[in-house]
Amino acid sequence: MTLALISHPDCSLHQTVSYHPETAERLTAIHDQLLASGLEMILHQYQAPLVTREQLQRVHDSNYLDDIFHKLDDQEQAWLDADTLMMQGTLAAARRAAGAVVEAVELVMQDRHQIAFCAVRPPGHHAERDKAMGFCLFNNIAVGAAHALQQWGVSKLAVIDFDAHFGNGTEQMFADNEQVMICSCFQHPFYPGCGQPSYDGHIINVPLAAGAGGAELKAGVEQHWLPALEKFEPELILISAGFDGHREDDMSELELVEEDYAWLSEQIKAVADRYAGGRIVSVLEGGYALSALGRSVVAHLKALLG
């Protein structure tokens, strides 16, 4: 089994203000932990391409894309919402982040690798069809899912989202598409103020209360996610991998640790092995406590590799 790591130096061009938690140092922390763990030596590394306008338009509104592509034509920076800042390097970073997921889908669907991890920023799962929010410009995971559906003819895929914050944009984009099962867990009530419990159909939302840890996560996954995934039998699994539920991360009030992310990744891998030929694309979302982020990514990837 081989694992592809997809990233690009442009992802560090997206500079934010000094007090902003979503920084280029996040990718450095991941790289440092991959090196220290020895994982970097066995990864197959790829440069993320720039996503195309056509690929973005599968999930984003055309007028929204016009606005984002030309937002900085006559200014140095722009706040897209209270949390989401666009600087001169942001568009290139966001296009690489979305392009990485398209490339990852290509790699696993061509059977060049079973697993691909996209170490990219800015994150994506809050971005809606026509709105940037929550640090996100383009919905990276949705762009990759739409590519798999349209370019590869995948009939059933699952998006697994374990960020501490609900992936509102991803749910919006696929709420009416039963080819896509979305399994998510997140702190609730919490930003972005939505994400209701849903335990049937193709949207499986498992809210977690502040203070919840591994036991609560395990119960939700075993009771709700796994039975739904077994019934659905996905041909491809995409992961919105957010690590801001770690107990060291002050961006949430969850109490997860590396072992919890490893256990969860093992469950996802088992489903992928049974139904998807082992094909998994994992994409970085949140995670802002740098040491915890790096350690958690290593635990996640080791579990996916088995």
For the cut 90, the answer to whether the pLDDT of residue 221 exceeds it is yes
Q: What is the mean pLDDT of residues 7-22?
A: 96
- Which residues span the domain enclosing 87? 3-305
Taking a C-beta distance cutoff of 8 angstroms, is the pair 286, 242 a contact? yes
* pLDDT band, residue 13 (cuts 50/70/90): very high
Taking a C-beta distance cutoff of 8 angstroms, is the pair 182, 171 a contact? yes
Report the catalytic residues: 126
* 297 contacts: CB under 8 Å, gap ≥ 6: 30, 33, 34, 117, 119, 241, 243, 284, 287
Residue 85 forms beta bridges with which residues? Answer: 79
Q: Are strands 85-86 and 78-79 parallel, antiparallel or unpaired?
A: antiparallel
Residue 282 forms beta bridges with which residues? Answer: 117, 239
Measured between alpha carbons, how far is 219 from 245 in angstroms, rounded to an integer? 16
* pLDDT band, residue 56 (cuts 50/70/90): very high
- Of 191, 171, 306, 173, whose CA–CA distance to 244 is shortest? 191
Q: Is the pTM of this model over 0.95?
A: yes
Measured between alpha carbons, how far is 152 from 171 in angstroms, rounded to an integer? 21
φ, ψ of residue 292 to 5 degrees: the values are -65, -40
For the cut 80, the answer to whether the pLDDT of residue 1 exceeds it is no
Taking a C-beta distance cutoff of 8 angstroms, is the pair 195, 185 a contact? no
pLDDT digits (tens, 9 = 90+) for 62-93: 999 999 999 999 999 999 999 999 999 999 99
CA distances to 47, 57, 91, 114, 203 from 54, rounded to whole Å, are 20, 5, 16, 26, 27
Specify the DSSP class assigned to residue 256: B
Name the average pLDDT for the chain.
Answer: 98
Percent of the chain whose pLDDT exceeds 90: 99
Give the pLDDT of residue 24: 97
Give the pLDDT of residue 146: 98
* Total number of domains constituting the chain: 1
For the cut 80, the answer to whether the pLDDT of residue 29 exceeds it is yes
Give the pLDDT of residue 259: 98
List, edge to edge, every strand of the sheet that includes 3-7. Answer: 44-47, 3-7, 115-118, 280-284, 236-241, 157-161, 180-187, 203-208
For the cut 80, the answer to whether the pLDDT of residue 190 exceeds it is yes
155 φ/ψ sector (left φ>0, alpha ψ -120 to 50, else beta)? alpha
Q: What is the mean pLDDT of residues 121-143?
A: 98
CA distances to 82, 104, 143, 282 from 197, rounded to whole Å, are 27, 30, 25, 24
pLDDT digits (tens, 9 = 90+) for 142-154: 999 999 999 999 9
pLDDT digits (tens, 9 = 90+) for 154-178: 999 999 999 999 999 999 999 999 9
The alpha carbon of residue 80 and the mean position of all alpha carbons in its chain are separated, in whole angstroms, by 20
277-304 b/e with 16+ CB inside 10 Å = b? Answer: ebbbbbbbbbbbbbebbbbbbbbbbbbb
The enclosing domain of 268 has a CATH number of 3.40.800.20
Give the pLDDT of residue 167: 98
Percent of the chain whose pLDDT exceeds 70: 100
The number of residues making up the chain comes to: 306
Q: What is the mean pLDDT of residues 177-182?
A: 98
pLDDT digits (tens, 9 = 90+) for 234-293: 999 999 999 999 999 999 999 999 999 999 999 999 999 999 999 999 999 999 999 999
